[in-house]
Amino acid sequence: MEGATKGEDSVDQSSQRFAEALVRERVETRLAAAGASEASRGAAIRAMLHASLLGIDSHGVRLTEHYCRMLDGGRLNKNPQLRFEHRGAGSAMVDGDDGLGHYAAYHAVEVGMALAREAGVGAVGIRRSSHLGAAGAYALAGAEEGFVTFATTNTDAMVALHTGAQKFHGTNPLAFAAPVPNARPWLLDMATSSIPLNRVLLHRSLDQELPEGVAATPDGFPTTDPHAADLLLPLGGVDYGYKGAGLAGVATLFSSLLTGTTLDPDFIPMYGGTDISTPRNMGHFVLVIDPDKFAGSAVFGAAITTYLAGLRASTTRPGGKVMAPGDREWATLAERQTNGIPLDPDTVRFLDL
Amino acid sequence: MEGATKGEDSVDQSSQRFAEALVRERVETRLAAAGASEASRGAAIRAMLHASLLGIDSHGVRLTEHYCRMLDGGRLNKNPQLRFEHRGAGSAMVDGDDGLGHYAAYHAVEVGMALAREAGVGAVGIRRSSHLGAAGAYALAGAEEGFVTFATTNTDAMVALHTGAQKFHGTNPLAFAAPVPNARPWLLDMATSSIPLNRVLLHRSLDQELPEGVAATPDGFPTTDPHAADLLLPLGGVDYGYKGAGLAGVATLFSSLLTGTTLDPDFIPMYGGTDISTPRNMGHFVLVIDPDKFAGSAVFGAAITTYLAGLRASTTRPGGKVMAPGDREWATLAERQTNGIPLDPDTVRFLDL
């Protein structure tokens, strides 16, 4: 399977490339100038570089300019004071104090790991947060410390329900990661729509037909015409979109309903609206599991190693290539650490590169 | 969205119908005669009637004959003694003692709820279990008691990886349910393939083309010819099947890797093999969350009510019908409680109806 779930978001491969350290330094400079506290900007930089290095460019450092505008406009609190409320031996709520969402989300993973070390599992809801970038960054943060980790968020409505004709759910990602002994983690970070909105915009600019079953007209009719497309369709397409819509609902259930935060259609728009001063009260959810508290870390490590070896050795159709979730991202990481991060001209300009 | 995720498994609507109470009595008689303990057969009957009443006929009372054969052959322990090992304040392992899987799985939900009441969350792995029927039965059992509940299992390999040419994952269901004040729960019970194997067999017997992107030849080439189809394809089809394959991997991660039980390709076949005496050591996983330990039950109840009202009132394309996950199942339940459960001739014969 193709590991990249957002590789389709990659910037043009002909883009200029820049070394990770330089990009990091310039993003830091910009966010510091916009007034973001050291702790909150550190988290945002970590998450944006995760995305930029793994090939999820839509959630990478190109968002620096957007975040700076929102810090300036007042939507984002420049100096958020995170609060953490212990709700049970395995559960907690984190209040993001309307700061950069990455800060609250990474903190929730830390809280979840502390709970899981004792209780075996840590379930953490996050409220009063904002855009967190790629949800996989947080699943990965747990997996890198040895925990099976799930992270999700709801987002601005742009995906129709199955046979629906209005924007109802966001592209609501589900991200799972698991530690693998002596190897990079297994990492699945997937939108519950088939494609992101950026893909429609790309096809529109290239006047290129869309695949079947990924988008619809404003009246809800599936279309491959990128100029007619207004709604994204849920994963599963024309026939099985009720499954993708249900999964988008899972993201909303955990992120919004359990935390008492904003529903997908009720968000002040991330982009394009006139209000950039009111916080969006976005919710997320993180679940952290300690394998040691189930069959045990040794059993788990051996099992996932066997599972992945079987997966990678399995037969494919001619021309096929079977990959575990994450394999494509780890290849992109290695390539970009060598050759640099490709950036679009607007981002190059904003970061003064 | 269509709530029914396994409605396509329904038996022919021209089938004979029988009252729930009569069906329950005959299944009880058969399982008792096969020697299943009162507790284990009670759980199996509850789960099979869940499926038969909600329209998931492939997992309904038609399986009674299969379970009786397996009790007789020795694969299933007639008198399993469940064991429960507390692993942390929010985590536990249940040992099914090789009995009917429904017994271990319902017990795991009970254990999970007890943990969640204190810890906010209960994560329970299950080992040495067997076929559990419809995973949604266990998600529902938690939701009916006020808990957001997730249940999953891995199953016999019959689904290819994306671009793969061998049976690698099972149809590995993900089931989520959530309580709704003064209404039936929100209930999503979905296979991570687009269709079940039964659907291929049905199209084969009717000599009817399959939808695009749901099945493949033994060489891994997508086909709509039901006679050529040998592999199921993961949800997402030809273009986005890496997402469905990743989700199937999530089921395996939780059910098998965390519990140290059998991997999908390593199961002794549920059907058709010669060995019906060796236990299959199947694993499952249940996660139970107490909304009261996050934003609180009242906030959650109001939020899910608002969410569902918005969903059901949302606009559709002409001829479309938007349903929440579970809506179709609840309609089927009401209809079958009135008109009886439709059963195929083999099941009618076995149950002596």
Full 3-state SS string of A187-235: EEEECCECCCHHHHHHHHHHCCCCCCCCEECCCCCECCCCCCCCEECEC
Q: What is the rounded average pLDDT of the residues A156-181?
A: 98
Nearest CA in chain B to A310: B168
A272 touches B: beta carbon within 8 Å? no
Let me know: does B130 contact B36? Beta carbons within 8 Å: no
Q: Which residues of B touch A243 (CB under 8 A)?
A: 5, 190, 194, 235
Q: pLDDT tens digits, residue range A202-212?
A: 999 999 999 99
Can you give the pLDDT of all 353 residues of chain B as single tens digits? 333 334 445 566 568 999 999 999 999 999 999 999 999 999 999 999 999 999 999 999 999 999 999 999 999 999 999 999 999 999 999 999 999 999 999 999 999 999 999 999 999 999 999 999 999 999 999 999 999 999 999 999 999 999 999 999 999 999 999 999 999 999 999 999 999 998 999 999 999 999 999 999 999 999 999 999 999 999 999 999 999 999 999 999 999 999 999 999 999 999 989 999 999 999 999 999 999 999 999 999 999 999 999 999 999 999 999 999 999 999 999 999 999 999 999 999 999 99
Domains of chain B, by residue range, sit at 6-299+330-351
Q: Which residues of B touch A295 (CB under 8 A)?
A: 93, 125, 127, 258-260
Chain A, 59 to 88: residues with Cβ < 8 Å from chain B are 87-88
Q: Which residues of B touch A113 (CB under 8 A)?
A: none
Q: pLDDT tens digits, residue range A246-272?
A: 999 999 999 999 999 999 999 999 998
Give the residue from B314, B332, B145, B157 showing the smallest Cα distance to B231. B157
With CB atoms and an 8 Å threshold, state whether B119 touches A89. yes
Give the residue from A261, A265, A258 showing the smallest Cα distance to A279. A261
Q: Give the whole-angstrom CA distance, residue B328 versus residue B311.
A: 14
Q: Which residues of A touch B163 (CB under 8 A)?
A: 1-2, 316-317, 319-322
Q: pLDDT tens digits, residue range A169-202?
A: 999 999 999 999 999 999 999 999 999 998 999 9
Q: Give the whole-angstrom CA distance, residue A223 versus residue A243.
A: 20
The number of beta carbons lying within 10 Å of the beta carbon of residue A209 is 11
Q: Which residues of B touch A167 (CB under 8 A)?
A: none
**Helices within chain B (DSSP H only):** 20-33, 38-54, 64-73, 101-119, 136-143, 197-206, 237-252, 297-312, 327-339, 345-350
CATH of B6-299+330-351, one of 3.30.1370.60, 3.40.50.2300, 3.30.530.20, 3.40.50.300: 3.30.1370.60
Chain A, 238 to 257: residues with Cβ < 8 Å from chain B are 239-247, 249-250, 252-254, 256-257
Let me know: does B96 contact B37? Beta carbons within 8 Å: no
Q: How far is B353 from chain A (nearest CA, A)?
A: 36
SS3 content of chain B, % helix, strand, coil (to 5): 40, 20, 40
B196 touches A: beta carbon within 8 Å? no
B18 touches A: beta carbon within 8 Å? no
B293 touches A: beta carbon within 8 Å? yes
- pLDDT for A4 equals 37
B297 touches A: beta carbon within 8 Å? no
ipTM of this complex: 0.96
Chain B, 152 to 171: residues with Cβ < 8 Å from chain A are 161-166, 168
